[in-house]
Amino acid sequence: MRGAGGTGERGGTAITSDLSGLNRLWNRAETQEPAWQSIAMRLPESARRPVVFTIDTGDGGQPQKRATLTLDRATATTIRWETFSDNNAGRMLRSWSRFVHTGEAFGVVGQTLAGAGSLGGVVLVWTGIALALRRLWAWLRRLVYALSGTQLSPPSRESAPASRT
Residues 75 and 121 reside in one and the same domain: no
Is residue 28 a part of any domain in this protein? yes
Which of 101, 117, 137 corresponds to the end of one domain? 101
The domain tally of the chain equals: 2
Mean pLDDT of all residues in 73-84 = 90
Domain with 29, as residue range(s), is 7-101
Q: By three-state DSSP, how is residue 29 classified?
A: helix
Residues 58 and 123 reside in one and the same domain: no
75/12 Cα distance (integer angstroms): 32
- 92-145 pLDDT, tens per residue? 888 888 888 888 888 889 889 999 999 999 999 999 999 999 999 999 999 998
CB 113 within 8 A of CB 103: yes
The pLDDT score that the predictor gives to residue 1 is: 41
Q: Is the pLDDT of residue 157 over 90?
A: no
Between 164 and 118, name the one with better pLDDT: 118
The pLDDT score that the predictor gives to residue 107 is: 83
Work out the number of other CB atoms within 10 angstroms of the CB of residue 5: 8
Per-residue pLDDT band for 2 (boundaries 50, 70, 90) equals very low
Those residues with Cβ within 8 angstroms of residue 66's Cβ, 6 or more apart along the chain or in another chain: 54, 55, 56, 57, 58, 84, 95
Residues 40 and 74 reside in one and the same domain: yes
Q: Where are the alpha helices (DSSP H) in the chain?
A: 22-32, 89-101, 107-148
The pLDDT score that the predictor gives to residue 43 is: 85
Torsion of CA 135, 139, 145, 146, to 10 degrees: 150
pTM for the structure as a whole: 0.57
Residues 114 and 73 reside in one and the same domain: no
Sign of the dihedral defined by the CA atoms of residues 120, 126, 130, 136, in that order = positive
Q: Is the pLDDT of residue 13 over 60?
A: no
The pLDDT score that the predictor gives to residue 124 is: 97
117/136 Cα distance (integer angstroms): 29
Residues 87 and 13 reside in one and the same domain: yes
Q: Is the pLDDT of residue 4 over 80?
A: no
- 29-68 pLDDT, tens per residue? 999 989 999 999 998 888 889 999 999 998 777 888 899 9
Which of 42, 66, 101 corresponds to the end of one domain? 101
The pLDDT score that the predictor gives to residue 103 is: 85
The pLDDT score that the predictor gives to residue 48 is: 84
Residues 145 and 92 reside in one and the same domain: no
Residues 64 and 85 reside in one and the same domain: yes
133/90 Cα distance (integer angstroms): 45
